[in-house]
């Protein structure tokens, strides 16, 4: 079983967020922020019925319900790093991300509105 993601050091999150805001973020900054916010999502929405994917950085299974164990999960949310970070921080609303096709969500329980933003 893969190790659970852990929230990043607050100073590292602040520094990466600053670089993202000013356009100087690097791949390592995106990786840190994605893994940080996915860890917060895991804590806020424990479970294993929905897989949230942010390729190429990480994926987590969240939200209570039928546990997924192998193959393609029945409920999947997938997006890019910048969109996920914007959703996690409240800079982008879930409905707007769906409307603009910045998020792909299929299956039951994939509406993450009640879990976002993460803070």
Residue 83, Cβ density class (10 Å: 0-12 exposed, 13-18 middle, ≥19 buried): middle
Residue 74 has pLDDT above 60, yes or no: yes
Using one digit for the tens of pLDDT, what is the confidence trace for 36-55?
A: 999 999 999 998 889 999 99
Q: Distance between alpha carbon 55 and the CA centroid of its chain, in Å? A: 10
Using one digit for the tens of pLDDT, what is the confidence trace for 100-112?
A: 999 999 998 999 9
Q: Distance between alpha carbon 90 and the CA centroid of its chain, in Å? A: 12
**According to the model, what pLDDT value does residue 4 have?**
79
pTM of the predicted model, to two decimals? Answer: 0.92
Residue 1 has pLDDT above 50, yes or no: no
Rounded to whole angstroms, how far apart are CA atoms 8 and 45? 18
Determine phi and psi for 84, rounding to 5 degrees: -60, -45
Q: Where are the domains of the chain?
A: 10-108
In this prediction, residues 3-8 reach a mean pLDDT of: 87
Tokens representing 7 are: 């929230």
Choices 3.30.420.40, 3.10.180.10, 3.30.930.10, 3.30.1050.40: CATH for 10-108 = 3.30.1050.40
């Amino acid at each position: 079983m893969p190790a659970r993601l852990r929230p990043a050091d607050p100073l590292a999150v602040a520094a990466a967020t600053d670089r993202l805001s000013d356009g100087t973020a690097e791949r390592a900054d995106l990786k840190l922020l994605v893994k940080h916010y996915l860890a917060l999502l895991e804590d806020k929405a424990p479970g294993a019925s929905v897989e949230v994917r942010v390729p190429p950085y990480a994926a987590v299974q969240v939200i209570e319900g039928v546990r997924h164990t192998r193959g393609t999960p029945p409920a999947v949310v997938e997006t890019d790093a910048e969109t996920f970070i914007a959703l996690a921080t409240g800079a982008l609303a879930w409905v707007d991300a769906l409307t603009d096709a910045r998020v792909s969500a299929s299956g039951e329980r994939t509406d993450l509105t009640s879990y976002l933003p993460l803070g």
